[in-house]
């Protein structure tokens, strides 16, 4: 993939992805590319398409399972400064797609800017959070999105209103486009109050979810009007194990792994859970995590 060298940015060949995902599993990427700026990103996306080489964007790796044989293509990381800018103007905050969401939401809460507290305890980049409409019981990112800039696979850029971004439960219209930045409309409030809410949401998650273990958060989307975690739990699957991967005892919609686990252990466990839940409850579970 010599053509990547035509674009400004750092290139790593045969780059292990396990160190970049929360599961700490899976094989290498043929190339890992850190574009210097939006032009370099546009060039790589366009060229990848022309050369029929798959190009995937990796955020903070919290919602991804990489297969053991790795990813035969280019993985892009938006970790250069051009993609990590944050600007605050009154109640309006613009953040680059590569910005780490948790420190951002914590920092804004401490400043008394309210709206991103529901993101406490959700590891994600801004791009990943917008694409998946990250959230939970306390709200989702779509609630505060005002504008999103996305790059298409031909390198062109569009700015979308919240309506155009097509948000739904854990989804958006982003698809295979790349989020360049998002602008949020927050509300000024008492910093102590907003920080306290942030901390409460964070603590509640720490109590109910195995955030200290190697996992990728919830594995399955909640089916309409039901909780995937409760269905898995009531099917008796807590602690169920395939190789080094187990259903968490703390929250049944999490799979935790121990050292030596492989991606195929996790995939076998996912199949076992889906089959058991289908047989027991007649419900088809859909994965929330992405499998590469
Ligand atoms: N439950 C069980 N057993 C379990 C887990 C949950 O019975 O092992 C029950 C709980 O007692 C509760 C219900 O299921 O009555 C719902 O559980 P919870 O409040 O933990 O929320 P959830 O629907 O399982 C969602 C998001 C989480 C988010 C939390 C909290 C999905 C798939 N999950 O979980 O998001 O952190 O709300 O806001 O939408 C993620 O997306 O990766 C994720 C972790």
What digits encode the pLDDT tens for the residues 148-205? Answer: 999 999 999 999 999 999 999 999 999 999 999 999 999 999 999 999 999 999 999 9
What pLDDT is attached to residue 151?
98
C-alpha torsion sign, points 169, 174, 180, 184: negative
Tell whether ligand 1 has an atom less than 6 A from the beta carbon of residue 288.
yes
Query: What percent of the chain lies above the pLDDT cut of 90?
Result: 95
Could you tell me the distance, in angstroms and rounded to a whole number, from the CA of residue 225 to the centre of ligand 1? 12
Nearest to 78 by CA among 124, 118, 123: 124
Ligand 1 atom, smallest distance to 138 CA: 38
* This model's pTM is above 0.75: yes
Phi, psi for 136 (deg, rounded to 5): -175, -150
Q: Considering only CA atoms, which residue is closest to atom 27 of ligand 1?
A: 136
Among 120, 169, 253, 289, residue to substitute to test ligand 1 (most atoms within 8 Å of Cβ): 253
Tell whether ligand 1 has an atom less than 6 A from the beta carbon of residue 252.
yes
Among 129, 210, 213, 218, residue to substitute to test ligand 1 (most atoms within 8 Å of Cβ): 218
Between the two ends of the chain, the Cα-to-Cα distance in Å is: 19
Neighbours of 272 (CB within 10 A): 16
Non-local CB neighbours of 218 within 8 Å, separated by 6+ positions? 228, 229, 251, 253, 254, 288
Token representation of residue 49: 């398409």
Q: How far, in Å, CA of 266 to CA of 243, rounded?
A: 8
- pLDDT tens sequence across 200-213: 999 999 999 988 88
3-state SS assignment for residue 256: strand
Q: Which domains does the chain have, with CATH numbers?
A: 2-81 (3.30.43.10), 84-208 (3.30.465.10), 228-291 (3.90.78.10)
* Beta strands per DSSP E along the chain: 9-16, 28-35, 55-58, 64-65, 71-77, 86-89, 92-96, 113-114, 135-136, 139-140, 145-151, 157-161, 178-185, 187-188, 241-242, 245-247, 255-257, 290-291
Tell whether ligand 1 has an atom less than 6 A from the beta carbon of residue 19.
no
Tell whether ligand 1 has an atom less than 6 A from the beta carbon of residue 233.
yes
């Amino acid at each position: 993939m010599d053509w990547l060298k035509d674009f400004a940015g750092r290139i790593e060949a045969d780059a292990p992805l396990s160190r970049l995902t929360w599961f700490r599993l899976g094989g290498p990427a043929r190339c890992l590319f850190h574009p210097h700026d939006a032009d370099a990103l546009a060039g790589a996306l366009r060229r990848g398409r022309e050369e029929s080489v798959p190009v995937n964007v990796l955020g903070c790796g919290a919602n991804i399972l990489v297969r053991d044989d790795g990813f035969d293509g280019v993985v892009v990381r938006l970790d250069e400064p051009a993609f990590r800018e944050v600007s605050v103007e009154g109640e309006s905050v613009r953040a680059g797609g590569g910005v780490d969401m948790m420190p951002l939401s914590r920092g804004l809460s401490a400043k008394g800017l309210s709206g991103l507290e529901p993101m406490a305890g959700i590891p994600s980049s801004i791009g990943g959070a917008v694409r998946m409409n990250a959230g939970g019981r306390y709200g989702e990112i779509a609630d505060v999105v005002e504008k999103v800039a996305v790059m298409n696979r031909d390198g062109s850029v569009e700015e979308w209103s919240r309506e155009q971004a097509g948000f739904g439960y854990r989804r958006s219209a982003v698809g295979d486009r790349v989020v360049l930045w998002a602008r949020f409309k927050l509300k000024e409030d008492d910093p102590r109050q907003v920080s306290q809410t942030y901390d409460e949401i964070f603590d509640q998650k720490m109590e109910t979810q195995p955030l200290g273990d190697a996992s990728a958060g919830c594995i399955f989307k909640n089916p309409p009007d039901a909780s995937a975690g409760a269905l898995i739990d009531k099917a008796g699957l807590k602690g169920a194990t395939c190789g080094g991967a187990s259903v968490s005892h703390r929250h049944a919609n999490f799979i935790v792994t121990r050292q030596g686990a492989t991606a195929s252990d996790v995939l076998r466990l996912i199949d076992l859970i889906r089959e058991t839940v289908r047989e027991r409850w007649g419900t088809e579970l859909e994965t929330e995590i992405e499998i590469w």
